[in-house]
Amino acid sequence: MKRTTDNAFHRHHGPDTSGGALRLNPLRAAIRSHHFGVALKLSPMRVRDIIPVWRQIGSPANSSNLLLNLDQHDWNWRGRRAHLLEILNAQNITPDETFGSSALVLNDVSLGELLHRASTDSCSIVRMEGPVEALDVEYISKSLNEGRSALDGDLRATAAINIRNDRRIGLHTREQVYAVKLAGENFRQYVAALRREPASHFAAPPVWMVEYVIGLTGQIKVRPIETDANEESIDIGVSTPVNRTTGPARYAMIYDLPSHSWHFDEE
């Protein structure tokens, strides 16, 4: 078995022929209101990087994490892809509850350990208030199979996240603040990628700043070519696309490195 530990913004570029210049993927986020709350689409972001915000949703002492349909490409077991329980057993992670071979319940600590040790082709995680029962799994799975939100399957489901290729995140949440915080967390990852340092060295932008800029059109895009960085600050140009049309960046989110504070400017 093997695992990778790269930053999502560095991926899928192939050999670097830029003479040492940093090549990053653009940041994209889109938010929409729905009957259950809000939906956020975000890329690129690894599933492990959702943990700081995911743990804030609901009451941490009374929340459960229902993990569904994990498809894992980096973990191999005797020449084939490992099943979910095989991955957990190999890492000495014990689920709180299991429902068949592809649904189980993990506490926050165990979920964090699993997501940090595995790159994920796809999976769904549902945040639940209180314990998870077999009927909950049945109704939530039915909602997903019908193309609906996991939040439609149970009123106690406070958030649901879907991961594709360990880089595209889809979040459904009953409270918009967590969608905004997750988008803010991705800005922190972007700064870390630019500096080639761990994200823990940096702060996420304040909620009001991300909420304002993403609320203008419901979409934001950050292109590395519109980012200026030096040893004192990082000036991130942010565009707000309308439909699929992306114009030049009209807003700047500026990270001050000495003070680890964020500032906003309209260009």
60-64, 103-107, 116-120, 222-226, range with the lowest pLDDT: 116-120
Distance CA 96, CA 81 (A): 23
Q: Is residue 55 within 8 Å of 74, Cβ to Cβ?
A: no
Q: What is the DSSP string of 67-111?
A: EEEEEESS-EETTEEPPHHHHHHHTT---SEE-SSSEEEE-HHHH
Domain assignment present for residue 173? The answer is no
pTM over 0.85: yes
User: Are both 71 and 159 inside the same structural domain?
Assistant: yes
Indicate whether 41 belongs to any domain.
no
- Residues 124 and 19 placed together within one structural domain of the fold: no
Are the CB atoms for 119 and 58 separated by under 8 Å?
A: no
Q: Which domain holds residue 217?
A: 8-24+180-266
SS3 176: helix
| Rounded Cα gap, residues 85 and 75, in angstroms | 12
| Three-state secondary-structure class, residue 167 | coil
- How many C-beta atoms surround the C-beta of residue 167 within 10 A? 19
Q: How far is CA 204 from the centre of its chain?
A: 14
pLDDT digits (tens, 9 = 90+) for 6-26: 678 876 544 444 434 457 889
Residue 19, both tokens: 């003479």
Chain segment 169-206, per-residue pLDDT in tens? 999 999 999 999 999 999 999 999 999 999 999 999 99
- Mark whether 220 and 247 lie in a shared domain: yes
Q: Quick one: 235 and 187 in the same domain?
A: yes
Domain boundary among 109, 139, 166: 166
Residue in the block written with tokens 């653009």: 26
Q: Which residue is associated with the tokens 């941490």?
A: 60
Instruction: Answer whether residue 172 is part of any domain.
Output: no
Q: State the sign of the Cα–Cα–Cα–Cα dihedral 38, 50, 184, 3.
A: negative
Between CA 167 and CA 121 the distance in angstroms is 9
Q: Are residues 151 and 187 in the same domain?
A: no
Among residues 133, 166, 199, the one where a domain terminates is 166
| Per-residue pLDDT reduced to its tens digit, 195-246 | 999 999 999 999 999 999 999 999 999 999 999 999 999 999 999 988 767 7
Distances (CA, A) of 103 to 20, 35, 137, 219, 241: 44, 26, 8, 33, 38
d(CA 238, CA 257): 19
Whether residues 185 and 91 share a domain: the answer is: no
Note whether residue 171 is domain-resident.
no
Are 119 and 213 members of one domain?
no
Taking the alpha carbons at both ends of the chain, their separation in whole angstroms is: 49
- Residue 83 and residue 157 in one domain: yes
160 and 197 inside one domain? no
Q: Quick check: 108 and 65 in contact, CB under 8 A?
A: yes
Same domain, 158 and 193: no
Which residues are CB-contacts of 35 (< 8 A; sequence separation ≥ 6)? none
| One domain, residues 148 and 54 | yes
pLDDT of residue 55: 94
Tell me the pairing of strands 80-81 and 103-106. unpaired
* Domain count across the chain: 2
Asked, for residue 194, whether it belongs to a domain, the answer is yes
Cα distances (Å, whole numbers) of residue 130 to 59, 61, 85, 107, 123: 9, 9, 23, 11, 21
- Same domain, yes or no, for 20 and 51? no
- What digits encode the pLDDT tens for the residues 68-97? 877 766 555 566 666 777 778 877 889 999
